[in-house]
Amino acid sequence: ISYNKDFLQIYEAKQEKSAVQLVKNLTRIAEETNNPTFVKQAKAVARQVSQLKQAKEEAERENEEIKQEVDAISQKVKLVTSENLFLRSDVTKDVQQLENLQHHITHTSNLISEIALQAIDAIKSNKLELAIKKIDKLLIKNEEIATLSNFVSKAKFDTKVKKINGDIVSFINEYLVNVFSTINTKLKIDLNDCDKHYTMKFIPLEIIIIIENLLRNSITAHANTVNISWDIKEKPVLIYRDNGDGISDAILEHIFEYRFSTTGGGGLGMCHIKDILQNMNGMIEVNNKLVKGVEFKISF
C-alpha cells in the first residue's frame, strides 16, 4: 500500500476548506429561503467556524513562538555544555590561573616601561612624531592589560602560550557568552551557527581585542543588540551586526584611519582591528546600508 505521509494534514486542510464552503452554502440558502430561523442558525454556524479558525491560527502562532524559544535555548545549551575554551564561573580562579594572569601583566608591564623610555628619548631629541607613535603603543598595551584581566582567569587553555591552535568559532562564541556577557549587561548578544567550527592558529588576546573594540563601539553607538553569525568557506568569516546609530557615508572611508574618531575617543580601536587582521592575512568589510545599525564581515 502506498500513500502520502502527509495525508492527515491534507485531510485537515480539505476539512477546513469544506467547513468554510459549508458556511457559504448555508448562508446562501438561508438568504434565498428568507427563513428568519434558518438565517439565525446560519449566522451562528458562521460565527463558530470563524472562532475555530481564529483559535487554530492563534495556536499555530503560539507553537511557532515556542519553537523559536526552544531553538534559542538549544543554541545556548550547546555553548554552555561545550565550554571547551572558557570557564563559565569565576569560582575556579585557582593559583595556576592567577599565576598566568601575573605572567601576562608582568610581561606587558615590562614592555610598557620600555616603550615609555623610548617615548621620553624621542621627546628629548625633539622627534615629536616618533614620541606620539610610542605613546600610542602605550595606550594599546594598556588596553591589552585591561582585556587580560577579563579573560585570563577564565581560560581553560594555557594562557602562557602566545598562539594556540584551536577552534576560532567556538573561542569567540564562548568568550561572548562565558566572559563578556557575565560582566556586561548593556548589550544583548544573539548567537547563530553555534554548531559551526574552524580550527586554525591564532593569538587569543588579539582576537579578544578585535571583539572588545567592536562591542565598545556598538555600546557607544547606542546599540542594545548584537547579532553574531558565521560563514565558513575557505576562511572563517565572522558576520557582526548591531542595531546602533550606524555609520554615515560621509565618514565611512575614514573609520580605519589612525586617530579618527567622531565620539571624542582615542581613535585607535578600528585602526588597531585593521592592523591585527592585516598581520593575520585577514580583512574587515563594512556594510552601512542596513535600515538600522551597521554590519562588519571579518575574515580571519
* pLDDT for res 93: 45
Contact at 8 Å (CB) between 283 and 299? yes
User: Between 284 and 104, where is the model more confident?
Assistant: 284
Q: What angle do CA 26, 28, 32 make, to 5 degrees?
A: 115
Of 99-113, 120-134, 204-218, least confident by mean pLDDT is 99-113
Q: Is pLDDT above 90 for 295?
A: yes
CA distance 186 to 215: 10
Q: Is pLDDT above 60 for 1?
A: no
State the residue for C-alpha cell 606587558. Answer: 108
Topology of 162-300 in CATH? Heat Shock Protein 90 (3.30.565)
Kindly state the helix (H) or strand (E) to which residue 191 belongs, with its residue range. strand 188-191
CA distance 175 to 14: 51
Tens of pLDDT, residues 77-101: 665 555 566 655 444 444 444 455 5
Of 13-17, 19-23, 121-125, least confident by mean pLDDT is 13-17
Q: Are strands 188-191 and 164-167 parallel, antiparallel or unpaired?
A: unpaired
CA distance 21 to 85: 61
Tens of pLDDT, residues 31-66: 777 777 777 777 777 777 677 777 777 777 777 777
| Bridge partner residues of 165 (DSSP) | 201
Average pLDDT over the chain reads 76
Q: How confident is the model at residue 204 (pLDDT cuts 50, 70, 90)?
A: confident
State the residue for C-alpha cell 556586561. Answer: 184
Tens of pLDDT, residues 230-259: 999 888 999 999 999 999 999 998 888 877
* pLDDT for res 88: 53
Of 88-92, 134-138, 260-264, 283-287, least confident by mean pLDDT is 88-92
| Bridge partner residues of 296 (DSSP) | 240, 286
CA distance 34 to 129: 97
* pLDDT for res 287: 94
CA distance 187 to 224: 5
Of 21-35, 126-140, 164-178, least confident by mean pLDDT is 21-35
User: Between 244 and 119, where is the model more confident?
Assistant: 244
**CB neighbourhood size of 157 (10 A):** 15
Given 3-state DSSP classes, what are the helix, strand and coil percentages for the chain, each rounded to the nearest 5?
Answer: 60, 15, 25
Give residue 293's region: left, alpha or beta (phi > 0; psi -120 to 50).
Answer: left
